[in-house]
Structure 1
Amino acid sequence: MGELSQTRTTLEERLQALSPAIQSICQVAGAPGISLAVTHNGEPIHRASFGFRHVEDKKPVTGSTQFPIGTMAKTFTAAAIGALVAEGRLTWETPIKDIIPELHTASATVNENLTIVDLLSHRAGLGRSNFWWQGADATLLLEKHDLLSYYNKLPITGQFRADWGYSNWGYALAGEVIERVSGKTYAQYLRESVYLPLGLKDSTVEPLDPTTAADFARPYAALDDGSLHPMPQPPINGNTIMAPALGGVSSTDDLTWYSIALLQAFRHESGMEKSRSPPALKNALHQLSGHIFTQKALLEKSYAFGWYRTQLPNTVLGMGWNSIYVKKMPKLTPRSHVGPLIAHGGSLPGYHVSIALLPEINSSVVVCTNSIALGDVSGWVSMALIEALIDTPEPSDYLALATEAAGNAVLNVKRFEQKLESTRKIGTTPKPRDNYIGRYRDKERGWVIDVRAQDAAPSGLEVAFQGLDSQAWYLSHHEHDTFSWLASREEQAKRGRMVTYPLVADHFKIHFQVDASGKVASILWKHEAGAPIEQQYFIKE
Structure 2
Amino acid sequence: MARRSEAIDTLQQRLQALEPVIQNICKVAGTPGISFAVSHNGQPIHRTSFGFGDLETKKPITGSTQFPIGTMAKTFTASAVGALVAEGRLKWDTPIKSIIPELQSTSVTVTENLTIVDLLSHRSGLGRSNLWWQGSDATLLLEKKDLLPYYNSLPLTGQFRADWGYSNWGYALAGEVIERVSGKTYAQYLEEKVYMPLGLNNTTVEPVNPSDALDLARPYAALDDASLYPMPQPPVNGSTIMAPALGGVSSADDLMAYSIALLQAFRCEAGLQTNNSSLAIKHGMQQLSGHIFTTKGLLEKSYAFGWYRTQLPNTVLGMGWNSIYVKRMPKIIPRTHVGPLIAHGGSLPGYHVSIALLPEINSSVVVCTNSIALGDVSGWVSMALLEALVDTPEPSDYLALATEAAGNAALNVKKFEEKLEATRKAGTATRSREEYIGRYRDEKRGWILDVRARDTAPSGLEVAFQGLDSQAWALSHYEHDTFSWLASREEQAKRGRMVTYPLVVDHFKLHFQMSDGESGKIDRLLWKHEAGAPVELQYFMKEG
Alpha-carbon offset, residue 448 of structure 1: 0.2
**How far apart in 2 are the matches of 1:226 and 1:502?**
19
1:355 Cα deviation from its structure 2 partner = 0.1
Distance 2:312 2:356 in 1: 13
Q: Distance in 1 between matches of 2:305 and 2:276?
A: 26
Q: Which residue of 1 aligns with 2:335?
A: 335
Aligned pairs for 1:492-531 (under 5 A) are 492-516=492-516, 517-531=519-533
1-side partners of 2:241 and 2:265: how far apart? Answer: 30
SS in 1 for 2:36: strand
Secondary structure of 1:402's counterpart equals helix
Residue 407 of structure 2 corresponds to residue 403 of structure 1? no
- Which residue does 1:182 correspond to in 2? 182
Q: C-alpha separation between the residues in 2 aligned to 1:457 and 1:120? A: 43
Q: Once the 2 structures are TM-superposed, how far is the Cα of residue 42 of structure 1 from its aligned partner?
A: 1.1
Secondary structure of the structure 1 residue equivalent to 2:371:
coil
Distance in 1 between residues matched to 2:211 and 2:268, nearest whole Å: 41
Q: Distance in 2 between matches of 1:87 and 1:359?
A: 25
- Provide the secondary structure at the position in 2 that maps to 1:475: strand
Structure 2 counterpart SS, 1:449: strand
* Shift, 1:201, TM fit: 0.4
Within the alignment, does 1:284 sit opposite 2:284 as a pair? yes
Describe the SS at the equivalent of 2:411.
Answer: helix
In 1, the alpha carbon distance for the partners of 2:146 and 2:185 equals 16
Deviation track 1:493-532 (CA, whole Å, cap 9, x = no partner) reads 0000000000000000000001214210100000000000
- What do residues 367-424 of structure 1 show as CA deviations (whole Å, max 9, x unaligned)? 0000010000000000000000000000000000000000000000000000000000
- 1:326 paired with 2:313, answer no
For 1:216 and 1:447, how far apart are their aligned partners in 2? 34
Equivalent residues in 2 for 1:460-475, closer than 5 Å: 460-475=460-475
SS of 1:538's partner is strand
The corresponding residue for 1:539 is: 541
Letter of the 1:54 counterpart = D
Q: Secondary structure at the match of 1:318?
A: coil
Q: Where does 1:368-447 land on structure 2 (aligned, <5 Å)? A: 368-447=368-447
Give the letter for the 2:350 counterpart: G
Q: Give the whole-Å Cα distance in 2 for the aligned partners of 1:535 and 1:207.
A: 35
Alignment of 1:2-17 (within 5 A): 2-17=2-17
Aligned counterparts of 1:279 and 1:207: Cα–Cα separation in 2: 28
Matches within 5 A, 1:25-104: 25-104=25-104
Partners of 1:372 and 1:343 in 2: CA distance: 19
**Map of 1:286-305 to 2, 5 A cutoff?**
286-305=286-305
CA distance, structure 1, for counterparts of residue 211 and residue 67 of structure 2 = 13
Give secondary structure in 2 for the equivalent of 1:194: helix
Aligned counterpart, 1:143: 143
Please report how far the alpha carbon of residue 277 of structure 1 lies from its aligned counterpart in structure 2 after TM superposition: 1.2
- Partner secondary structure for residue 522 of structure 1: strand
**How far apart are the structure 2 equivalents of 1:298 and 1:142?**
41
Question: Which ranges of 4 or more aligned residues in structure 1 deviate by more than 2 Å?
Answer: none
What 5-or-longer segments of structure 1 have no aligned partner? none
- Greater shift, 349-358 or 207-216, is seen at 207-216
Root mean square deviation, CA, Å: 0.4
Aligned counterparts of 1:275 and 1:296: Cα–Cα separation in 2: 36
**1:332, 1:278 → 2: CA distance?**
34
Residue 449 of structure 2 corresponds to which residue in structure 1? 449
TM-score, length basis structure 1? 1.00
Q: What per-residue deviation string (whole Å, max 9, x for no partner) do you get for residues 181-218 of structure 1?
A: 00000000000000000011000000110111111100
**1:440-482: CA deviation from partner (whole Å, max 9, x where unpaired):** 0000100000000000000000000000000000000000000
Name the amino acid aligned to 1:520. Answer: I
Superposed displacement of residue 278, structure 1 = 2.1
Structure 2 length normalisation: TM-score? 0.99
Name the SS of the counterpart of 2:37 in structure 1: strand
AA at the equivalent of 1:513: Q
Partner deviation per Cα, 1:330-352 (whole Å, 9 max, x = no partner): 00000000000000000000000
* Residue segments in structure 2 that go unaligned for 5+ positions in a row: none
- 1:275-327 Cα offsets, whole Å, 9 max, x none, are 11121110000000000000000000000000000000000000100000000
Q: Distance in 2 between matches of 1:15 and 1:228?
A: 28
CA distance in 2, matches of 1:226, 1:208: 28
Q: Secondary structure at the match of 1:34?
A: strand
Q: Distance in 2 between matches of 1:358 and 1:42?
A: 11
The percent identity for this pair of structures is: 79
d(CA) in 1 for partners of 2:528 and 2:280? Answer: 46
User: For 2:369 and 2:297, how far apart are their aligned partners in 1?
Assistant: 32
- Does residue 212 of the first structure (1) align with residue 203 of the second (2)? no
Aligned length: 541
**One-letter amino acid of the structure 2 residue matched with residue 89 of structure 1:** R
Aligned residue runs from structure 1 range 188-203, under 5 A: 188-203=188-203
**Counterparts of 2:88 and 2:237, CA distance in 1:** 27
Which amino acid is 2:540 matched to? F
